[in-house]
Amino acid sequence: MTALKSSPAWKALKAHHAQIGNLHLRAMFNDDPGRADRFSAEGGGLFLDYSKNRINAETVRLLLGLAEERGVANRRDDMFSGEKINVTERRAVLHIALRAPRGARIEVDGADVVADVHKVLDAMAEFAARIRDGRYVGHTCKRIRNVVNIGIGGSFLGPQMAYRALRAFGDRSMNFRFVANVDGTDFSEATQDLDAAETLFIISSKTFTTLETMTNATAARAWLVEKVGSDAAVSRHFAAVSTNIEGVTKFGVDPANTFGFWDWVGGRYSMDSAIGLSTMIAIGAENFAAMLAGFHAMDEHFRTAPPARNLPLLLGLLTVWYNNFFGAQTIGIMPYAAALARFPAYLQQLQMESNGKHVDLEGHPVDYQTGPIVWGEPGTDGQHSFYQLLHQGTKLVPCDMIGFCKPLSPLAGQHDLLMANMFAQAEALAFGKTAAELMAEGSPDFQTPFRVTEGNRPTNTILADTLDPTTLGSLLALYEHSVFTQGAVWSIDSFDQWGVELGKVLAGRIIPELRLGVEPDLKHDSSTNALIVRFRSRRKDAS
């Protein structure tokens, strides 16, 4: 494949950007009354209005041309058919198989995986039902009322985000907690008010070797044994989710409470695998199935919808447009739903661990920007903290506004206020307010320059009916495939994460150096050495 920057589509986009990059959304909307219709699309139960982007019909044509030239559709088809597109780990990338309907057939190395997926889903459903209806009890025959998921990264962010997003569909008689950080306060705070006899720990880890998770799992075992007063309690109070069944067995989790998944599921793409066990216990197997159906609907949309109406493709290409042609460094994710409070954090891992890459698929350094920084907060909270910079700062921050037509809360009137704010913010960001408009409204001269909002700040608006399990699934798959599209354009491996390894190795080296008692022979750089010395001496003083 031609190098990205010398490809005809890239060059055409560069020239096109030079022509239209400075056009104002005000003018673009004035010149084209059909713009909102022209630049909106629907799929998988989601409506995407992308008209408030700094694009015209030619931009879309050129971006779709870029996707074609970079072979995005072929790569997508390779993913769906189980090709080993995670080249650096020689693995298939088949999160789409996790939500394939029963009876579908998707092969890895000639063997169908969908039947295995449903076998695990059935076992999870049975386990979840027994916990929810009280047939499954703890060591002292008490009903399980607390579920504590211990896991980090993809084994944490998805389950925690989904639990919060779908609380309206959850069992309110149960408590769900999520422990991720190796900081002991995370575990202590999550468990300090729980009755151990009513608590189930789910150890969620793809590898079952992650330092944070194994440390917290060990702390959980000690906590449980101490509180319940018996080693035998472990088998009733622990479940595990992993691809490393040997590690799980060694840890002592009852095989009947162990749920597997496969190396073709990336950690950040795993919340709809058995990693979603806590989600299933919270919302029930039927709602979990509805979530999978939502994922699948978007998978099918991505696989079959024509490019010009393909939501994940368009979303991914718009990210490339701002990232590579406008030099935008970040994307803001603003869900207008308090229940999606952890959605930006979830997307952070999805996007940044997938596309934060410095070499292409052949291992050559890239000479273009790859994945943007993702951040965000729910609206309206963000409006009262950082939106000032979005409106009047000097940086271009394209944002996704995500909202729902129907409220989940009984305070329906407040939902109108929420959504009015979402629509208003997108409008203000796009069109701003000129000095002339302000002066016509009587703005004092001395204030006018400070009050001007330039506008021309791009947003996508994603609108769905209700934040329910199906919609959540669809929304998550939308972003998964948007991330995929970007990675395909940039010719990077969106499914490995080698960059996280070095820090883990160095931490492993430093851990024994912090232990008091033995004087370590420090061989780091002068800064790290001095910090370790200072830490040791202060810690000794404190103890």
Instruction: Determine the 3-state secondary structure of 239 from DSSP.
Output: strand
Using only C-alpha atoms, the chain has a radius of gyration, in whole angstroms, of 25
Selection from 204, 241, 208, 232 nearest residue 123 by Cα: 241
Closest contact distance (angstroms) between CB of 259 and ligand F6P is 13
Q: Using an 8 Å Cβ cutoff, are 317 and 48 in contact?
A: no
Chain positions contacting ligand F6P, by CB under 6 A: 152-155, 205-207, 210, 213, 267-268, 353, 497, 500
Nearer to ligand F6P, 338 or 510 (CB): 510
Q: Using an 8 Å Cβ cutoff, are 460 and 279 in contact?
A: no
Nearer to ligand F6P, 205 or 470 (CB): 205
Closest contact distance (angstroms) between CB of 298 and ligand F6P is 21
Q: Using an 8 Å Cβ cutoff, are 539 and 531 in contact?
A: no
Range list of β-strands (E), 238-352: 238-242, 258-260, 330-335
233-237 long-range contacts (CB < 8 A, ≥24 apart) are: 233/138, 233/139, 233/140, 233/196, 236/137, 236/138, 236/139, 237/138, 237/139, 237/196, 237/199, 237/200, 237/201
Which residues are registered as beta bridge partners of 108?
Answer: 111
Nearer to ligand F6P, 383 or 497 (CB): 497
Residue type, 517: G
Instruction: Determine the 3-state secondary structure of 437 from DSSP.
Output: helix
In this structure, how many other beta carbons lie within 10 angstroms of the beta carbon of residue 123?
17
Active site residue 353: yes
Nearer to ligand F6P, 210 or 380 (CB): 210
Nearer to ligand F6P, 51 or 497 (CB): 497
Cα separations in angstroms, 125 against 173, 277, 343, 407: 19, 9, 25, 28
Say which of 5, 11, 364, 384 is annotated catalytic: 384
Closest contact distance (angstroms) between CB of 153 and ligand F6P is 3
Selection from 438, 265, 405 nearest residue 337 by Cα: 405
Closest contact distance (angstroms) between CB of 173 and ligand F6P is 29
Q: What is the signed CA dihedral for 402, 405, 410, 411, rounded to 10 degrees?
A: 70
Closest contact distance (angstroms) between CB of 350 and ligand F6P is 10
Say which of 353, 377, 480, 513 is annotated catalytic: 353
Q: What is the DSSP letter of 395?
A: S
Nearer to ligand F6P, 207 or 392 (CB): 207
Closest contact distance (angstroms) between CB of 95 and ligand F6P is 13
Instruction: Determine the 3-state secondary structure of 299 from DSSP.
Output: helix
The distance from CA 364 to its chain's CA centroid, rounded to whole angstroms, is: 27
Closest contact distance (angstroms) between CB of 267 and ligand F6P is 3
Q: Which residues are catalytic?
A: 353, 384, 504
